[in-house]
A = this chain, B = another copy of it.
Amino acid sequence: MRELELIDRLDELLGAGDPRLVRGLGDDAAVVRAGRYAVTSIDTMVDGVHFRREHLSPEEVGHRSLAAALSDLAAMGAAPGEAYVSIGVPEGTSGEDALGIAGGAGSLAAGVGVAIAGGDVTRAPAITVTFAVVGWSDDPGSLVGRDGARPGDRVAVTGALGGAGAALALADGRASADALPADIAAALRERYAGPWPRLREGAALARAGARAMIDVSDGLATDAGHLARRSGVRIELALASLPVDEGVGIVAEQLGADPRVLAATAGDDYELCACLPAPPADATPGPSPDCALTWVGSVVEGPPGVVFVDADERLAGFEHSF
């Protein structure tokens, strides 16, 4: 497929129907009606680094790349607006791969009300997908950074953890799905291949007064560590309290691992970790109908970092292993 044809077909797939869009694909740049503040993140996924091509369809690569980028907007509590994509595909790859990537991203975009307003397609030695995503806010004070956690806050995570890591172990052949019911194996795979960005939950947590928030892309232990350091606080988490995806226990057993350690350290779940003022202690702030919120720890004074209060030696010093 020639590049011009590909771009024409991408043009049809992407960017249609956004009322904010004044000019879209086909010009040198897209023109979009802005809000008062732009919230922008850029994120890249590379075959062999962030995923393996043989584990994912092109559609899943596109979905997952956009989900990871939008997850950063979710972690700010920002309403999503537009996405801009750069797709790199190896020489000899069919144009269908690029179209599949765009199509998978386009489906997710439509599902969360995002317009893909611009794009670039190029040759690259490995499939490489970069998304720049833009959200809009009228009040920057309503957005949640990483630096606002304070001693006394409680720490919550959305959804459940460990599912993507378990799915990767299955895909890699480090564990076998034979011991899992088929529907649970399929659900685990979906956690890895088709994460849904927690945009609604991030906005609800921001409205509920979250003071610091981050998305869990590198594992809760690592990402809560970023929060702790940026906020200058210590975060105490309890392994026993972590919400763990169904089926993770069976996979962890095959790996000889504690399921909660897997949940604490495996990445790619794209859940949110938020710090909120303590009272009301047991209220679940604005959960969405299909996403639980679980209290997993608290913020204390002390040297910035994360500690698991109930971890054995397997998690002692985990901060140095990342």
Contact = CB atoms under 8 A, between A and B. Distances in A.
A159 interface: no
A27 interface: yes
B120 A43 contact: yes
A125 B125 contact: yes
Given A23-B145, A75-B28, A124 B49 contact: yes
A117 B37 CA distance: 13
16 contacts: A22-B140, A27-B230, A28-B145, A29-B40, A29-B72, A30-B39, A30-B40, A30-B41, A31-B39, A31-B143, A33-B37, A34-B136, A41-B118, A44-B86, A88-B128, A125-B125
A146 B28 contact: yes
Contacts of A59: none
A155 B133 CA distance: 35
A33 to B, nearest CB: 6
A73 interface: yes
A44 B124 CA distance: 10
A26 B231 CA distance: 11
Interface string A57-74: 000000000000000110
A265 interface: no
Q: Which of A28, A50, A88, A118 gathers most chain B CB within 10 Å?
A: A28
A207 interface: no
Contacts of A34: 34-38, 136
Given A49-B124, A124-B126, A125-B125, A41 B29 contact: yes
Given A44-B86, A46-B122, A46-B124, A32 B38 contact: yes
Interface stretch (A76-84, A102-110, A177-185, A252-260): A76-84
A48 B119 CA distance: 21
Contacts of A262: none
A266 interface: no
A214 interface: yes
Contacts of A124: 44, 46, 49, 126, 128
Nearest to A75: B28
A55 interface: no
Given A23-B145, A140-B22, A48 B125 contact: yes
A134 B48 contact: no
Across the A-B interface, the 10 shortest Cβ-Cβ residue pairs: A132-B132, A29-B41, A34-B34, A28-B75, A28-B72, A42-B84, A125-B125, A44-B86, A130-B130, A34-B38
A215 interface: yes
